[in-house]
Structure 1
Amino acid sequence: MSSFPAHRLSVAPMMDWTDRHCRAFHRALTTRALLYTEMVTAPAILHGDVERLLGFDPVEHPVALQLGGSDPVQLAEAARIGAGYGYDEINLNVGCPSDRVQSGRFGACLMREPSLVAECMAAIREAVEVPATVKCRIGVDDQDPAVSLFETVDACAAVGITTFIVHARMAWLKGLSPKENRDVPPLDYDLVRRLKRERPALTVCINGGIASLDAAEAHLDDSDGVALDGVMLGRAAYHEPGILGQVDRRLFGEPVADVDAFAAIDRYRPYLAARLAEGVHLQAMARHMLGLMHGRPGARAFRRILTVESIVPGAGLEVVDRAVGAVREAEARRDRADEAA
Structure 2
Amino acid sequence: MSRRELVVLGTASMVPTRTRNHNGYVLFFDGMGVLFDPGEGTQRQMTLAGVSATDLTRIAITHLHGDHSLGLAGVAQRLAGDGVPHPVPVSFPASGLEQVEHLLHASVQGALADVVRQPLAADGVVPPVHGELGRKAGGPALTARRLEHTTETFGYRIFEPDGVSLDPAALAAAGVAGPDVGRLLADGSLVVDGRQVHLAEVSVPRPGQSVAFVMDTRLCEAVGELADGADLLVIESTFLHRDAEQAGRWGHLTCRQAARVAAQAGVRHLVLTHFSQRYTDPEEFEREAREEFDGELTVAADLDRVPLPPRRRAAP
TM over 0.5: no
> TM-score, normalized by length of structure 1?
0.32
Q: Which has the higher strand share?
A: 2
Q: Which has the higher helix share?
A: 1
